[in-house]
Structures are given as C-alpha cells and as structure tokens.
C-alpha cells in the first residue's frame, strides 16, 4: 500500500495551486480561490474511476464509514455486523453513531463468512459491513442476498482494497455504499482523508450535508444555508484533496506494480510445499496490496514469522497477535473502556466476548502470514525478499 512512496511533481503542482490562492477550504471564498475546487475535482475523478455515480470526500476513512452509515439512517441501537479481523476504525465508526458493532467470524478469504453473518442477524440488525482486508474480498453475493431478505444496508469497507474487483465491478461499488481511506499508509494517500461512493442519490445528498454540519449547500451565501438535520464536521481540506488529485493520476501504475511484485512473491512461495494461499472468490481480483498465506498450524506460522524477521525481511505481519487488527487484543472494546459514558444502547448491546466463540476466526488467522507489497521495490529487490521469505518458511516447515 504505497501512496507515500510516490510523491512527485503531480502532488506538488496540485498543492501549489491551493497555496497560491490561500483558500484551504473546499467551500466558499469564491472571489479568492482562482477557480480551484480540488475536493470536487477529486470526487468527480474518483467516481469515474470506480464506476460509481456519487463520491463524497471526508476527513478520513473512519469518518467516511460514519458518514456513510448516518446517510443511510443508521443510528442509536442499530446493529451493524462486521468481521473479527479488521481495523479498530470499523467498530469506532459504528459506536460514534450510538450504533452497536457485532463481531462475526471470518473464513479462508480472511473476510466475513456469510454463514456466520446469517446466524448473527437479529431484529436490530441494520447493516452488514464486509471489510476487504489486505486487498481482497469475501463472497459478496450471499451477503447481498441476506441484505435483500432482511432489508439491510450493505456497506463495504474497501479502505485496504482500492483497485480490487468483484464480478468485474470495482470493490466499493457492489454494496449500497463503499468507503475508502486515503490515510498516509493507504494505496492512494491525501495525508489524511477518505471517501464514500454510492449510486443512491438520497444517501449521496445526505452525506454531502452530514459531513458539513448539516449545511444544505444551497446558494452561494454560506451564512444563509439552512440545516435540514444535525451534522458534524467530517470535511476534507482543499490541501489534502490536492495531494489526492496528484496521487489518483498514478492509480493504474500503482496497481500494476503491486500486481507484478505480488506475482514474484507468489511464484517463490508456490514452490514451498505446505504453503496455502488465501482464497480469493471466483470472479474476484485482489488489489495486490498484500500477499496472504496459511501454514498448516499456528506453531508453524509463528516459527515462520520469526524466521522471516531473523532473515532481516521487514513488512511481513502475524495479525493474530496484532493490537490493531484482531479482536483478541481489543481490550478497550471488550471492557467498554471509554473516556465518557458510552450510550446505553452500546453498553447493553455489545457482545459478551467471554462467551462468544471465535474459534473459526482463530483457526484461520492463527495460521496466517501477511506480506505487504510495496511499489518502491524493484524486481530484483522483490525477488531477493521473496527468496528469503520462502526460505524462512521452508525451514520452519522442515523442523
Ligand atoms: C485505514 C482503515 C480504516 C480507516 O481509515 P483512516 O483514514 O485511517 O481513518 C478503516 N478500515 C480499514 C480496514 C482500514 O484499513
């Protein structure tokens, strides 16, 4: 996930346009701004690139998720089903609305298991949030079916999977809403930023207002704007949007390079008996942001990651023991530790983690190793890394 590896002339030009006018705000100040509307421009380009009707930039991926859910009418006490393996932002964005995140098992795609989702649906469920972790996706068709049957919103967290596809549609465009992050470590970066996309005009209109205090954006006099409903400030700045505009021009190149570096590692690991790759659904294509594989046991996975580190290779992860990405280490969520009092609906609605069985998730993530794919690595560097990784895994398997 390489955006920051590639800053250059494109980003500088866009940022300079903004600085020369001095208008860092996406709305208003028309006489001063020399006609630059970088956030609008980005939204148009991004919607085109994704094949979506509407795009709304926000201040982060986390806020994009919150805005997306708010725009679809999700609020206090509503349950949102999401995977046990994700980033903490997924449940934060739900709790921010007073809604209740319900964690659910993953399968060998490392993403939501539709069978487990079905069992988690209650009369309070309002949305299913598949998270396309590490560049790939679960079977979305069964989730779409469940949403149809139970009248639920399908919200894709595509923050880690920009450029991936499912049945020839870009990830993020399959659900009712799709969310992206442009934080510093994502495939395309604004420094900080995010976006949601949708083909639902009402959701798009709601999102446009909600992320800017509920201002209705009618007319050119900001001070005269009305407020059809309450909102917040989840706006992107013009400066951040400008960085994104520079980045988005390199999108095809970034994905192509991720793919070719991914293939090199895939080739080397394919030669190691006992390595199994993460399942990618038929008719889906990864974004190649990470390469994920399984070892036969948790012990072999732990030994492999130790060997990889000992061989001096960085950027490979054992998510099973990671504080940010797996439920096992989310003590703050499990203990409901907050600075203030959490809404009653959240306090009463959260799962009892002592009693919830995530052994299926454990059985997959405990055996998984995940290698980041950078675009800055040359073919030769990638091959050298890949050989070291394969050798480290092989020797762990031989013990
Ligand atoms: C990065 C990320 C987010 C949040 O994005 P920010 O822009 O950092 O707020 C949400 N979900 C997933 C899966 C992510 O990786």
pLDDT, tens digit (0-9, with 9 covering 90-100), for 11-62: 999 999 999 999 999 999 999 999 999 999 999 999 999 999 999 999 999 9
**Mean of pLDDT values over 357-386:** 97
Closest ligand 1 atom to 65 CA: 10
For the cut 70, the answer to whether the pLDDT of residue 364 exceeds it is yes
- Of the candidates 57, 114, 119, 60, the one whose C-alpha atom is nearest the C-alpha of residue 89 is 60
Measure 184 CA to ligand 1 centroid, in angstroms: 10
- Confidence (pLDDT) at 264: 98
**Mean of pLDDT values over 154-174:** 98
Residue 93's pLDDT band (boundaries 50, 70, 90)? very high
Measure 268 CA to ligand 1 centroid, in angstroms: 30
Residue 157's pLDDT band (boundaries 50, 70, 90)? very high
Measure 255 CA to ligand 1 centroid, in angstroms: 19
CB-based contacts of 21-28 (< 8 A; 24+ apart in sequence): 23/238, 24/237, 24/238, 24/239, 25/237, 25/238, 26/57, 26/235, 26/236, 26/237, 26/238, 26/241, 27/212, 27/217, 27/222, 27/235, 28/222
The response to whether residue 180 sits with its C-beta less than 6 Å from ligand 1 reads no
Closest ligand 1 atom to 183 CA: 7
- Confidence (pLDDT) at 6: 84
The response to whether residue 66 sits with its C-beta less than 6 Å from ligand 1 reads no
| Report field, pTM of the whole predicted structure over 0.95 | yes
3-class SS letters over the chain: CCHHHHCCHHHHHHHHHHHHHCCCCCCCCHHHCCCCCHHHHHHHHHHHHHCCCEEEEECCHHHHHHHHHHHCCCCCCCEEEEECECCCHHHHHHHCCCCEEEEECECCCCCECHHHHHHHCCCCEEEECCECHHHCCCCCHHHHHHHHHHCCEEEEECCCCCCCEECCEECCCCCCEEEEECECCCCCCCECCEEEEECCHHHHHHHHHHCECCCCCCCCCHHHCCCCCCCCECCCCHHHHHHHHHHHCCHHHHHHHHHHHHHHHHHHHHCCCCCEECCCCCCEECCCCEEEEECCCHHHHHHHHHHHHHCCCCCEECHHHCCCCEHHHCHHHHCCCCCCCCCHHHHHHCCCCCCCCCHHHHHHHCCEEEEECCCCCCHHHHHHHHHHHHHHHHHHHHC
| Angle subtended by helix axes 238-248 and 38-50, to nearest 10 | 40
- Confidence (pLDDT) at 360: 98
**Mean of pLDDT values over 219-226:** 90
15 neighbors 24 (Cβ within 8 angstroms) = no
- Confidence (pLDDT) at 5: 85
The response to whether residue 62 sits with its C-beta less than 6 Å from ligand 1 reads yes
The response to whether residue 135 sits with its C-beta less than 6 Å from ligand 1 reads no
Mean of all residue pLDDT scores within the chain: 97
The response to whether residue 265 sits with its C-beta less than 6 Å from ligand 1 reads no
Residue 246's pLDDT band (boundaries 50, 70, 90)? very high
- Confidence (pLDDT) at 120: 98
The residue whose C-alpha atom lies closest to atom 3 belonging to ligand 1 is 61
175 neighbors 329 (Cβ within 8 angstroms) = no
Return d(Cα 254, Cα 244) in angstroms, integer: 14
For the cut 80, the answer to whether the pLDDT of residue 107 exceeds it is yes
**Mean of pLDDT values over 170-184:** 98
**Mean of pLDDT values over 364-375:** 97
Which residues carry out catalysis? 186
The response to whether residue 159 sits with its C-beta less than 6 Å from ligand 1 reads yes
The residue whose C-alpha atom lies closest to atom 5 belonging to ligand 1 is 61
Residue 2's pLDDT band (boundaries 50, 70, 90)? low
Sign of the Cα pseudo-torsion (124, 347, 114, 83, in order): positive
């Amino acid at each position: 996930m390489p955006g920051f590896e590639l800053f250059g002339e494109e980003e500088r030009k866009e940022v300079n346009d903004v600085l020369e006018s001095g208008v860092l705000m996406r709305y208003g100040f028309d006489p001063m701004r020399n006609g630059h509307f970088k956030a609008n421009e980005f939204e148009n380009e991004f919607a085109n690139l994704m094949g979506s009707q509407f795009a709304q930039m926000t201040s982060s991926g986390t806020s994009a998720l919150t805005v997306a859910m708010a725009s679809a009418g999700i609020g206090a006490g509503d349950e949102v089903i999401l995977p046990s393996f994700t980033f903490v932002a997924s449940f934060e964005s739900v709790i921010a609305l007073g809604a209740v995140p319900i964690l659910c098992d993953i399968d060998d795609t490392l993403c939501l298991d539709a069978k487990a989702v079905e069992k988690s649906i209650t009369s309070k469920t309002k949305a299913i949030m598949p998270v396309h972790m590490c560049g790939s996706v679960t079977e979305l068709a069964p989730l779409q079916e469940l949403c149809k049957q139970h009248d639920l919103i399908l919200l894709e967290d595509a923050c880690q999977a920009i450029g991936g596809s499912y049945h020839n549609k870009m990830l993020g465009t399959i659900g009712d809403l799709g969310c992206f992050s442009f934080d510093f470590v994502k495939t395309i970066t604004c420094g900080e930023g995010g976006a949601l996309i949708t083909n639902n005009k009402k959701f798009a209109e709601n999102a446009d207002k909600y992320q800017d205090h509920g201002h209705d954006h009618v007319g050119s006099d900001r001070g005269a704007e009305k407020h059809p409903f309450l909102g917040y400030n989840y706006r992107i700045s013009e400066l951040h949007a400008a960085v994104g505009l520079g980045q988005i021009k390199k999108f095809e190149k970034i994905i192509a390079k991720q793919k070719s570096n991914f293939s090199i590692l895939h080739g080397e690991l394919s030669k190691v008996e006992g390595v199994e790759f993460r399942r990618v659904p038929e008719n889906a294509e990864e974004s190649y942001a990470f390469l994920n594989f399984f070892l036969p046991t948790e012990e072999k996975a732990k030994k492999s990651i130790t060997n990889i580190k000992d061989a001096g290779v960085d950027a490979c992860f054992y998510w099973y023991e990671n504080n940010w990405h797996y439920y096992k280490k989310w003590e703050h969520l499990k203990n409901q530790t907050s600075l203030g009092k959490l809404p009653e609906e959240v306090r009463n609605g959260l799962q009892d983690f002592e009693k919830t069985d995530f052994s299926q998730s454990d059985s997959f993530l405990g055996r998984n190793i995940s290698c980041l794919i950078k675009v800055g690595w040359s073919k030769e560097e990638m091959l050298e890394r890949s050989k070291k990784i394969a050798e480290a895994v092989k020797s762990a398997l031989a013990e």
